[in-house]
Amino acid sequence: MMDKDKLRKADIFSGGVITLFGFWIISEALRMPMKDSWGGVQNVWYVSPALFPLFVGAMIALLGALLVRRAVKTVGGKGLKEVMQWLGSSDLVRYLLTPPLFRFYAMVVLFFSFVFLNIPRIDFFLCAILFLIVFITMFYFDDDDLLRKLLYFYLGGIAVLTLFFSLGLPTALETTLPYSGDWLTLAFILAYAVYTWVLIRSLKPLRKKYRTALILAVVAPFTIGPIFKYFLLVPMPMEGMVVAVLDAIWYWDF
């Protein structure tokens, strides 16, 4: 466990990051309309959807600033100088490459790609399977070396998917290959599954975990998804190849 002085120095860094994150939330919330007109009725500012994220962002920024203030007050000017020197040294690079940080990077990459890249463009069932199989294998194996390899492989696949969608290829291929983005995602899922198996096939304890990961990654979306889609009548965020097949089966549209 770090001593109090080191903890307070760490608070300077983390508090600064928290403060910047709060300001980012505020900047994004300011893009929301404070007033608007619906059906000829003018809404007042205090019912704006921007108020809640503005409040949250302001509180996060304030708490982050208070954390920095308390830390600086504890360690003094000398401690602040040491923190600034550490941020500009090679020690920071070594710290950023430590296993705990790589686990954090993996979580950020997974959730960012899932929410902002995959869900708006890929069939929800395929998107969920991809997320679950990657998430479970990365963290359930509890092996830092495997996590790095799987993260690099996932980043490569996401780069290919991002390039594919940014070039507008799904639209260009729609007439010749419907759901081309979903087919590419399915190929990515299979490639990731094969690559993972190659990495862990000689490790008996991980083979059992791998089978569990595959089962959960497939069963969970196909258990929860149809309940929302066909019983609660909630549309999926993106309905593509898998939803089309399920619709055909559900409504017997053959």
Residue 42 DSSP symbol: E
Q: Say if residue 81's pLDDT is above 60.
A: yes
Name 48's Cβ contacts closer than 8 Å, sequence gap at least 6: 32, 33, 34, 35, 36
Which one is predicted more confidently, 27 or 188? 188
Give the residue extent of every domain in the chain. Answer: 4-91, 99-250
pLDDT tens for 156-204 read 999 999 999 999 999 999 889 999 999 999 999 999 999 999 999 998 8
Distance CA 72, CA 60 (A): 18
Show the tokens assigned to 163.
Answer: 């390039």
**What pLDDT, on a 0 to 100 scale, did the predictor assign at position 1?**
43
Buried/exposed code over 16-46 (b: 16+ C-beta within 10 A; e: otherwise): bebbeebbebbeebeeeebeeeeeeeeeeee
Q: What is the mean pLDDT of residues 68-94?
A: 73
Distance CA 45, CA 67 (A): 31
Distance CA 115, CA 197 (A): 26
Contact predicate 152/211, CB 8 Å: no
Number of helices followed by number of strands (H, E) in the chain: 10, 2
Residue 237 DSSP symbol: S
Which one is predicted more confidently, 98 or 37? 98
Which one is predicted more confidently, 31 or 60? 60
Query: Which segment, 71-85, 96-110, 155-169, is predicted with the most confidence on average?
Result: 155-169
71 C-beta neighbours (distance < 10 Å), count: 22
Give the HSE-up count for residue 119: Cα atoms under 13 Å, Cβ half-sphere.
Answer: 12
